[in-house]
Amino acid sequence: MPDIPLYLAPLAGYTDQAFRILCKDWAVDYLVSEMVSADGLIRDSRKTIEFMRFTDYERPFVVQLFGSEPSVLAKAAEFLLEMNPDWVDINMGCPVKKVIKRGAGSALMKDPPRAEAIVRAVKDALAGNIPLSVKFRSGWDSASLNYRDYGLRMQDAGADLLCLHPRTTKQMFSGLSNWDHIGALKQAATVPVIGNGDVISPESAKKMLEETHCDGIMIGRGALGKPWLFKQIKEYLETGNYHPITKDQLLTTSLKHLDYALNSKREDVVVREMRSQLCHYTKGLPGGAELRNTINHCQSAIEIKQHLSNFFGNLL
Ligand SMILES: Cc1cc2nc3c(=O)[nH]c(=O)nc-3n(C[C@H](O)[C@H](O)[C@H](O)COP(=O)(O)O)c2cc1C
């Protein structure tokens, strides 16, 4: 199998700096910021910059912008150049109401001329300094699957890379993603195509590659509580086998996650946010539900650490 680049998908509320660094420790190739509002970046750049801070260790680092006004997105891209990311992605796939209401995210799939104008404007603003990608869905609903023409139009407008999450906007995150769409786009496009959607294991990563011949794989929810998935996928594609995670590694990785979070956020924020993050490490394990309940009532990081140590210690 060829050496295929692996991407951590942007998951707003989850793929913060702590989780991104953790995935980098486990061999992910590309990291993407949580989506950043182009309007916000221009209006209150200080606050927004804080939100998308990244370190050299996280490179190659992609900043994802969302918005609906070509001129605003272009200004935001110009501004971004000063932060020196490795490339810029435009979110054209977010189905959340408050985003599509503003004509951004996957609302753009209903307005290809506007999407094209955005790509042209941002491409101009980047002036060849760094590449530009777009991340989009299969279409608005099952009666309007326009991913192929849409992707080619974005390519012709200047996108250097296409990333497809093959669900419709109406589907949100339900049902299964349709990998046939990734294969069809890959056949039609001349720029690289990244496949995204429902890769949750080394086996499913290999299956996506075989079925679609995509040029890269982007993984979101499958990596939550499993940052080692990237390393396992690489091992599996290379050798046909992979090492299962040990309970020791589970403990050290979950503790590391907590420590990384404490490096970048206040403890009370970390304690609150880690409730949803840490529950992914214990899914399916005996006693996991009780641990999650206990952690939900913890008030300090040290308490959480103790409970994690006891839990994984008892599993050994
Ligand atoms: C909680 C959550 C937050 C997300 N945030 C973003 C986002 O900020 N930008 C984006 O392009 N996609 C976002 N997505 C979509 C994911 O990047 C990805 O396309 C989708 O989850 C399918 O991939 P997966 O099956 O590997 O998770 C989000 C998805 C979820 C579940």
Residue 138 maps to a domain:
yes
Protein residue whose Cα sits closest to atom 19 of ligand 1: 165
Ligand 1 first shell, C-beta below 6 A:
9-14, 34-35, 64, 91, 93-94, 135, 165, 173, 196-199, 219-222
Assess whether 234 and 265 both reside in one domain. no
Mean pLDDT of 140-169: 98
Residue 94 known to be catalytic: yes
Q: What are the tens digits of pLDDT across the range 158-201?
A: 999 999 999 999 999 999 999 999 999 999 999 999 999 999 99
pLDDT at 279 (0 to 100): 86
Assess whether 25 and 143 both reside in one domain. yes
Cα 180 to Cα 161, 187, 199, 209, distances in angstroms? 18, 11, 14, 11
- Per the structure, the count of domains in the chain is 2
pLDDT at 44 (0 to 100): 79
Q: What is the atom index within ligand 1 of the atom nearest the CA of 196?
A: 23
Query: Six-digit token pair at 314?
Result: 């008892």
Residue 231 maps to a domain:
yes
Which listed residue (23, 94, 163, 279) is catalytic? 94
C-alpha 264 – ligand 1 centre gap (Å): 22
Q: What is the atom index within ligand 1 of the atom nearest the CA of 221?
A: 27
Closest by alpha carbon to 10, among 223, 179, 205, 199? Answer: 223
Protein residue whose Cα sits closest to atom 21 of ligand 1: 220
- Lowest mean pLDDT: which of 6-20, 214-228, 268-282? 268-282
Q: CA 295, CA 293: separation in Å to the nearest integer?
A: 6
Protein residue whose Cα sits closest to atom 11 of ligand 1: 91
Band (pLDDT 50/70/90 cuts) for residue 314 is confident
Mean pLDDT of 290-306: 94
Assess whether 42 and 71 both reside in one domain. yes
Residue indicated by tokens 């294969």: 183
Residue 213 maps to a domain:
yes
C-alpha 287 – ligand 1 centre gap (Å): 29
Assess whether 166 and 255 both reside in one domain. no
Ligand 1: which of 11, 36, 229, 230 to mutate, judged by most atoms within 8 Å of the beta carbon?
11
Residue indicated by tokens 């290809």: 112
Based on the number of CB atoms within 10 Å of its own CB, is 170 exposed (0-12), middle (13-18) or buried (19 or more)? middle
Share of the chain above pLDDT 70, in %: 99
Assess whether 279 and 305 both reside in one domain. yes
Q: Is the pLDDT of residue 53 over 90?
A: no
C-alpha 90 – ligand 1 centre gap (Å): 13
Contacts of 55 (CB under 8 A, 6+ apart): 17, 21
C-alpha 222 – ligand 1 centre gap (Å): 11
C-alpha 183 – ligand 1 centre gap (Å): 20
Residue 160 maps to a domain:
yes
Residue indicated by tokens 């006004």: 69
Picking from 213, 239, 265, the residue at the C-terminal end of a domain is 239
C-alpha 306 – ligand 1 centre gap (Å): 31
Domain coverage including residue 153: 6-239
Ligand 1: which of 97, 109, 165 to mutate, judged by most atoms within 8 Å of the beta carbon?
165
Residue 145 maps to a domain:
yes
Q: Is the pLDDT of residue 123 over 90?
A: yes
